Each structure stands twice: as structure tokens, then as C-alpha cells.
A and B are shown apart, each in its own frame.
Chain A
């Protein structure tokens, strides 16, 4: 399939009619599809770019004439950033939030923007039909396991970096394997294998975290989109929005909650490994 081989562009109000246009009973695939042949650029990736461009455009508009006394968009942008910053500061402390906010803030705003963009008309319903197979131009960014895995993977790498930078390699290993508490003599000898075993469990837990982050976000967003799509298929084309409408509000909540959950979990994992009393910094 090449871009030049795009058959008719489907521009309809619901995916069910789009599917009908494609001549098949449509089921939203579990994966994102490449929009160009030969390039690893998927429709979810394009959605991420759109979200990024929107965030950057908003930031540019909000910050092009910054003043010490904020007004308008600057006020809104500062309120959003400062609220999240203060919230995370209360969780992981002043030192760590200063160090990690660029990541946590990006994660939160990117996820929430991508989630909300996925609810806009045209996402998943505007695309091309190639060899009888309908491929939307845009797909909910987080309804792609590669996207959620990429964010979780990046977090895992940064988590290791921050953990070792804050504790040192020895401190990091001690944090996982060393006995906690003050044991002496025989008690110490008995506790060492226990804590070594606990350390192994901790390592498994650490390795599971990015997988859990990946599937939690993907599952919630894909499930939501699939639900909306199935509900829209219940009514004929002019009214296909109606059954899904109440669930759009639920999806607004889910979009926010999932962004917050992903960010909060990242923050908590950072706190668990880097917390050694912020007041000392």
C-alpha cells in the first residue's frame, strides 16, 4: 500500500458508517496502523504529534509576552503547571520535583491531551480504504501499546538514572537488598537471606512496573474507544452519536484519571527509591 494508492477518503460522522463504506463489519483493531508504507509512522504517532503541536502552540501563545503579573492564557498555563508542580512537590518533595517535573509534567499533559483529542470527531472516522481495509488517519494515541510502552520504557530508564544518581550504585543496591532496621548478631545472620529474598521480589516488582503502566493506560483507553465505537454502531448514521453521548462524559473523566494515575504512579515509584528526607537537601 502506498500513499498514492489511497482509495476513497472516508469522512463520516461515525465509524460504523465508515466500516459500511469499507464494506465490512468493522472492529477497531488492537493495534495502530502505519499511515505510510515503509515508514514506522502509525496513526497513533501522528495523533501524538498533533497533541504535541497543540501543547506547544498553547504554550507559545501563553508565554510569548510573559509578564510578572499574569493575565489571560499565561494565567491559565501558569495555573495548570503550578497546580501540578505543587501537587507533585507535596508527594516527592522539592528537590525531586525540581529534577523530574519536566518528565512528569510532560507525561501528564501529553496523556491528557492525547486522550481528549481521541474523543474529537474525525479521530478513527477519517481515513482511507485500501484493498477493502479501512485505515484511519488518526487513532487515540494511548490506544496503541507501542505508545504506552514507549512512555513506560522511558520512565523505567529515567527511574534507574534518578535512583542511582540520588543514592549512588551502592546505595541503590542497599536500598533493594540490605536489611532494614538495626539487627545484630544471630538476628542479623537470620535476616540477611530474608532481605535478599525480599530484594529479589523487589527486582521482579521493579521489572513489572513498566509493563503494568503500559497495559493499564492502554487497556483503559482502548476499552473506552471500543465501547464508544460499539455504542455508535447501535444507531443509524445520522443518530449514531446518541448512544455514545453519555459515555463521552465518562471518557472525559477516564482521560483525566488515567493521565493522573500514570503520572502519580511514576511519582510514587520515584519517591520510593529516592526518598531520604527532602529537608536535608
Chain B
């Protein structure tokens, strides 16, 4: 408005008259500048700004992706760390259980061995006892037969079964004593 007032003043021969600020020229320049600006907006700044914006978006997307990847990496590291920790705990538990199992097994096997040894020993003792008893009874029987035979030869008489039994018992009681 001020400029147009100045143009009017210049046309009327005011102090701006030497500059020839003329209404028609000024309007033509305004139209000219508007066209120039619109053309520059479309052909000069439009494509460049679009490209800059596109690049800015890509950079922003890249940064966003980077943040997401960093977050995922941190989560993954945390998951891995937790898994390793869990695996370690599990391994320690298994080792402990294995140790306990091995100890129990070894104990059991030792007990079994002891038990078997005792059984073997008992069996051996029983067999020995039976052998001793068998030998003893055989010995007694042989001893009795010898005593009876000897007595019959010394005395020269035929011994009755009651005599034989009495002599045997008497001889055995003396031997055992």
C-alpha cells in the first residue's frame, strides 16, 4: 500500500518522480515477480526440497530402524543371558543330582556288595557247619562202631543193640567231655 502510495506520489511529480515508480511498471513487476516465484517454486525448489525431504525421511527411518535393532539386540542379549543363566542353573542342578545319584548308587552298590558278602559268608559258615556236623556225626558213628568192635573183640561176646547203644553213648560222652 505504501509502495503504491509512493508510486502515485511519484506519478504526481513528488520526490520519487526521478525513480519513475510507475503504476503500470510496478504492477508489471509484481506480476513478473509472482510468476518468477511460482516458476522457481515448481522447477527449482520443488524437486530439490522433495529429494531433501525424501532423504530426511530415509535417514529418520534408518535411525528408527537402528533404534529398533538396538532394542532387539538388547532384548536378545537379555534373553540369551537369561537362557545361559538358566542353563547354568540347570547344569549345576543336574551335576548336583548326578553327584547325589552317584553317591546313592555307590552306597547302594556297596550295601549290596556287603550284603552279598555277608550272605556268601553266612552260606560258607552254614556249609562249614554242616560239613563239621556231618563229619562229627560220621566220626561219632565210626568211633562208636570202632568202640563196639573193640569191646566185642576184647570181651569176646556178642553185644546186644542195647549194649552197643550204651557203650557208644558212654564213649561219646567221655570223648566230648
Contacts and interface: CB of A to CB of B under 8 A. Distances in A.
B36 A42 contact: no
Given A30-B18, A40-B28, A150-B30, A106 B2 contact: no
Nearest to B7: A149
Contacts, number: 130
B2 A211 contact: yes
B38 to A, nearest CB: 9
A71 interface: no
A5 to B, nearest CB: 21
B41 to A, nearest CB: 4
A270 B134 CA distance: 132
B80 to A, nearest CB: 36
A55 B48 CA distance: 13
A203 B91 CA distance: 84
A103 B38 CA distance: 9
Q: In the complex, which of the residues A58, A149, A154 has the most CB atoms of chain B within 10 Å of its own CB atom? A: A149
A56 interface: yes
Contacts of A1: none
A62 B41 CA distance: 15
A257 to B, nearest CB: 21
A102 B48 CA distance: 11
Interface in B39-83: 39-41, 43-45, 47-49, 51-52, 54-55, 58
Given A40-B25, A82-B52, A150-B33, A68 B58 contact: yes
Contacts of A149: 3, 6-7, 21, 26, 29
Interface in A169-215: 207-208, 210-211, 214
A23 B2 CA distance: 39
B9 to A, nearest CB: 12
B45 to A, nearest CB: 5
B26 A63 contact: no
B24 interface: yes
Interface size range on A against B: 35 or more
Nearest to B18: A30
A153 B3 CA distance: 7
Contacts of B39: 52, 56
A45 B44 contact: no
Interface string B97-118: 0000000000000000000000
A68 B54 CA distance: 8
Contact of B29 (A45, A63, A85): A45
A105 B45 contact: yes
A51 B25 CA distance: 19
Contacts of A208: 2
A7 to B, nearest CB: 23
B45 A101 contact: yes
Nearest to A44: B29
B3 A211 contact: yes
Contacts of A210: 2-3
A77 B3 contact: no
A40 B75 CA distance: 72
Given A63-B48, A210-B3, 10 more contacts: A45-B28, A59-B40, A68-B55, A78-B48, A82-B52, A110-B40, A146-B28, A146-B29, A150-B30, A207-B1
Interface of B: 1-4, 6-7, 16, 18-22, 24-30, 32-34, 36-37, 39-41, 43-45, 47-49, 51-52, 54-55, 58
